[in-house]
Structure 1
Amino acid sequence: MSNRYYILALFFITSISTHTQELLTTDKAIALALEHNYGIKIAKNTVEVADNNKSVLNSGYLPSLTGIAGASIDRQNAEGQLADGNVRTAEGAETRRYNASINLNYTLFDGLGRLYNYKRLKEQYQLSELEARETIENTILQLFSIYYTIAQLSENSKVLEETIRASKNRLIRAKYQFDYGQNTKLDVLNAEVDINNDSISLINIKQQLKVTKRDLNVVLGNHLSDNFELDKDVNFLIQLDKSELLQKTMGNNVSLLQADQNIYISQFGIKTNKAQLLPTVGLVGSYGWNESSNNSPLAFVIQNTNSGVSAGLNLTWNLFDGGSTLTRVKNSKINFETLKLQREQLQIDIERSFNNAWDDYQNKLHIYKVQEDNISTSQNNFDRTNEKFKLGQTTSIEFRQAQLNLLNAELGKNQAIYQAKIAELEVLRLSGELLNIDI
């Protein structure tokens, strides 16, 4: 091989490797979202905070231990008269005092308020996990909505490129026919106009593709390269059973689970408010050390030091607080009933949403199957029209109509398949199965 051809071959191989696109599969997209999506990261931090809150360190069951220390110096002038009438004076007499103590405070009984609060914090942690799951489910659904939009735009781009190639061949034939006097200039101009229109459509789609790819990158935490390609294959879970999924929806829908958790937590609110009607018994204890020194000639004791331990119990009982505690108990009971009513309403809404989502899924799946059949018919019609057009047996207008019919069928099929998949994912989200099934 000559040097010239070797250099050209090397350049060609380098060009191919430079433009190699990264393949982004659905599994990889989910993994990137779970790791880098900011909404999911924030939700995980919220769960971590709730985990810290349910710790025994935040329960009130542990005693408080405080240390106190102090020192002071007094300098004074003093004068005193003794019993024999003599007068003594002390100028600049200095008194030094030092103290230190360790104090223990522990609540032995508070009407079981801290017990209910501790249980409430544990259930609050479970609620935060459900909220994080909801964030993840919504993010995954958003991810695939954008993902399949990119796939649809990519397929539409290929369809339009193929349409433009057919239009260019038509233009070449129209020019030859015009040169040989077989048609008028109008056929050439029509062909050029159709190419321009198809080119504008392709430009718009490519621009939409760039924008949508940026949207996907935002969902994935901006961890994608600018040059990537998607796995456009779509597999439908045709084994889905409506009655089974509806049953799962009633038992595993994340919104219903959150409603149940809020009802359970509100019960602890009632008990905590009732606990404030009971007395509080506390244990206190301390160990202290004190020292003072006085160099005044008037002082009876020059230095004094003492230390010791003290302990005791205290009882606090708010016998009447104007009725505010009773009011809180009543309101917490009303709030409990309100949450149950909201849960019942939510269940009706969820069931309606599921039925609507299921019907939408079945409708779009049917449309996709119809569009697939339409593709076959439109392709057959275009092929026959194209052959007749080459033989001069049909007009350019009829050729263009057949071409548009095929283009619309292919674009419709691309839209139908990805919309049907998104509708299927919405059904899975409502039933709580989105994170449990291999998409």
Structure 2
Amino acid sequence: MSALVLAAVLAATPVTLEDARARSRENVQALTALLQVSSAEQDVRIARSSLLPQLRFQTGANLDYNGPQRYTDIVAVDGGFERQVIDVPESLIPSFGLSVTLQQSIYDRAVWARLSQSGAQLEAQRGEAFEQQDTSELEGIQRFYALFRSQATILVLQKNVERSEQQLERARALFQAGRVGKAEELSAQVNLGNDRIAVVSRQSQLATDQTRLAAWLAMPGAEVVEAVDPGVLNQPAAPAPALDQALETARTRRPLLMALRERLRAAELQESIARAGYLPRLTLQGTYSRGGPNADIVFTQPKLQNSVSGGVGLSWDIFNGFSTQAQARRAEYQSRVAELNLQQNERELEGSVRQAHVTLQAQITSTELAEANRKAASDALSLAEERFNAGVSSTLEVRDAQLKLTQAELTLLENRINVEIARFGLMRAMGTLAPGEAK
């Protein structure tokens, strides 16, 4: 390992796969979705408030000014009547009052339907939040494995550098022994230089993957992170679950379907809200009030100025220009739209599960083939090195075997990591990324 790479590794912040998964479920997108859930919870409280007693207190003071007035009136004078002009001086008339009003809804079908609808919308928002958390987690997993792939690729390239260094030493020793020409040593030296360049060139991709993972996990973008080896490279790939089982799990666990079902229920409840316009509404109201021209009388003498009223009100829209009928029809159409949307997403979900399942199986098969290729390439390199040491082959033959082994190792690495990414992709499609959550 070069000094530059070693220094970068020592200064890096280690991130495990589990850390990446947990932090991804709390990144900006996931937290935004959770805030939407909290907002929907308040909508439920608002809808419930209409069913609770409404108590209102009101107080105030008024001052009426009347300017000078003149008018005529008929008055009795000495047993008769005559019209006289009467002047009224300007006046200031104060008035004070307070009141407490209690109102309680006794029956209103629309209010109960809105409460049920807000509950359905809350559950839909929760499902969408779970869906976003799964989306964020899968993205974090992919970025983690992208970084781990870059790290592992550098290690493979460094192993190739070590093999080239050994080949250069053998070529130099054979040249000094007079068994090969100077060209073999120079060719091995050029090969070593190219392999070292390949390692250095990979640092740019490594930095890109580090930045993408750090930013997604809400870490400082300039922080150097290291993907801790999850231990998958030394383990055989587990088989994929049965497709029928994966489909059944997806139908019951996928948060998106839960959200869409609740959206459909909310749309159906909108029909109940619209049809409530055909029904009467019954309310109970009581008012206690005090009023008078003097603040002292109104606010300090409780035996005076008291007034209490109460009653039951029934309101019924007998005819409103067919507005209720139109609203009910519109709600029916929106309900049908929500139903069609659910059905389409169910079909697409089945397709995405099948695609993810096929992808996982293909990657597992590719990994098995890549492992066989790597073993064959390793045997070929050993044979080429033996022939070179015996003086019956050239550096070119060793170099060709060396490159084929390096390519086989990189292909195996790529496919083995793709197996894990595909496996998590299938889990995402099935809705089982976070098995501890109730969905």
Normalising by the smaller structure, the TM-score range is: 0.7 to 0.9
Residues 237 and 332 of structure 1, relative CA distance in 2, 3 Å threshold: farther
**Residue 221 (structure 1) aligns with:** 218
Contact 1:273 1:325 survives alignment (8 Å): yes
Counterparts of 2:243 and 2:329 in 1: how far apart (Å)? 43
Residue in structure 2 matching 1:232, options 223, 230, 233: 230
Q: Which amino acid aligns with 2:27?
A: N
Q: Which amino acid aligns with 2:99?
A: S
Q: Which amino acid aligns with 1:131?
A: E
Counterparts of 2:65 and 2:351 in 1: how far apart (Å)? 84
Residues 291 and 146 of structure 1, relative CA distance in 2, 3 Å threshold: same
- How far 1:98 moved relative to its partner? 1.2
Residues 190 and 292 of structure 1, relative CA distance in 2, 3 Å threshold: same
**Residue 29 (structure 2) aligns with:** 39
Residues 231 and 320 of structure 1, relative CA distance in 2, 3 Å threshold: same
Q: Which amino acid aligns with 2:60?
A: G
**Residue 19 (structure 1) aligns with:** 10
Residues 425 and 229 of structure 1, relative CA distance in 2, 3 Å threshold: closer
Counterparts of 1:63 and 1:123 in 2: how far apart (Å)? 24
Residues 329 and 95 of structure 1, relative CA distance in 2, 3 Å threshold: closer
TM-score when normalising by structure 2: 0.83
Q: Could you say what secondary structure the match of 1:136 adopts?
A: helix
**Residue 279 (structure 2) aligns with:** 278
Q: Counterparts of 1:359-398 in structure 2 under 5 Å?
A: 359-398=358-397
Residues 351 and 389 of structure 1, relative CA distance in 2, 3 Å threshold: same
Residue in structure 2 matching 1:53, options 24, 43, 51: 43
Q: Counterparts of 1:164-243 in structure 2 under 5 Å?
A: 164-175=161-172, 186-222=183-219, 226-234=224-232, 236-238=237-239, 240-243=241-244
Q: Which amino acid aligns with 1:403?
A: Q
Counterparts of 2:284 and 2:66 in 1: how far apart (Å)? 41
Q: Which amino acid aligns with 1:261?
A: E
**Residue 292 (structure 1) aligns with:** 293
**Residue 249 (structure 2) aligns with:** 248
Counterparts of 1:248 and 1:204 in 2: how far apart (Å)? 44
- How far 1:199 moved relative to its partner? 2.7
- How far 1:215 moved relative to its partner? 1.1
- How far 1:26 moved relative to its partner? 2.1
Contact 2:271 2:328 survives alignment (8 Å): yes
Counterparts of 1:23 and 1:218 in 2: how far apart (Å)? 15
Counterparts of 1:76 and 1:246 in 2: how far apart (Å)? 82
**Residue 144 (structure 2) aligns with:** 147
Counterparts of 2:150 and 2:69 in 1: how far apart (Å)? 101
Counterparts of 1:293 and 1:163 in 2: how far apart (Å)? 100
Q: Which amino acid aligns with 1:382?
A: L
Contact 2:128 2:259 survives alignment (8 Å): yes
- How far 1:87 moved relative to its partner? 9.6
- How far 1:403 moved relative to its partner? 0.6
Residues 391 and 40 of structure 1, relative CA distance in 2, 3 Å threshold: same
**Residue 298 (structure 2) aligns with:** none
Q: Which amino acid aligns with 1:48?
A: S
Q: Which runs of 5+ in 2 are unaligned?
A: 1-5, 296-303
Counterparts of 2:289 and 2:216 in 1: how far apart (Å)? 61
Q: Could you say what secondary structure the match of 2:98 adopts?
A: strand
Counterparts of 1:309 and 1:177 in 2: how far apart (Å)? 116
Counterparts of 1:434 and 1:65 in 2: how far apart (Å)? 48
Counterparts of 1:40 and 1:344 in 2: how far apart (Å)? 26
Contact 1:59 1:118 survives alignment (8 Å): no
- How far 1:75 moved relative to its partner? 5.3
Residues 427 and 74 of structure 1, relative CA distance in 2, 3 Å threshold: closer
Counterparts of 1:362 and 1:246 in 2: how far apart (Å)? 15
Counterparts of 1:293 and 1:243 in 2: how far apart (Å)? 83
Counterparts of 1:274 and 1:70 in 2: how far apart (Å)? 41
Q: Which amino acid aligns with 2:228?
A: L
**Residue 64 (structure 1) aligns with:** 54
- How far 1:239 moved relative to its partner? 6.9
Q: Counterparts of 1:157-168 in structure 2 under 5 Å?
A: 157-168=154-165
Q: Which runs of 5+ in 1 are unaligned?
A: 1-14, 295-304
- How far 1:317 moved relative to its partner? 2.3
- How far 1:363 moved relative to its partner? 0.9
Counterparts of 1:199 and 1:83 in 2: how far apart (Å)? 125
Q: Which amino acid aligns with 1:146?
A: R
Counterparts of 2:436 and 2:60 in 1: how far apart (Å)? 66
Counterparts of 2:385 and 2:271 in 1: how far apart (Å)? 79
Counterparts of 1:78 and 1:337 in 2: how far apart (Å)? 69
Contact 2:179 2:391 survives alignment (8 Å): no
Residues 266 and 394 of structure 1, relative CA distance in 2, 3 Å threshold: same
Residues 57 and 267 of structure 1, relative CA distance in 2, 3 Å threshold: closer
Deviation digits for residues 342-362 of structure 1, max 9, x if unmatched? 323322222222122111111
- How far 1:372 moved relative to its partner? 1.3
Q: Counterparts of 1:352-431 in structure 2 under 5 Å?
A: 352-431=351-430
Residues 145 and 310 of structure 1, relative CA distance in 2, 3 Å threshold: same
Q: Could you say what secondary structure the match of 2:305 adopts?
A: strand
Contact 1:378 1:406 survives alignment (8 Å): yes
- How far 1:137 moved relative to its partner? 0.9
- How far 1:189 moved relative to its partner? 4.6
Residues 437 and 392 of structure 1, relative CA distance in 2, 3 Å threshold: farther
Counterparts of 1:130 and 1:272 in 2: how far apart (Å)? 24
Counterparts of 1:76 and 1:319 in 2: how far apart (Å)? 45
Residue in structure 2 matching 1:28, options 8, 19, 32: 19
TM-score when normalising by structure 1: 0.83
Contact 1:262 1:339 survives alignment (8 Å): yes
- How far 1:274 moved relative to its partner? 0.4
Contact 2:147 2:226 survives alignment (8 Å): no
Counterparts of 1:266 and 1:215 in 2: how far apart (Å)? 40
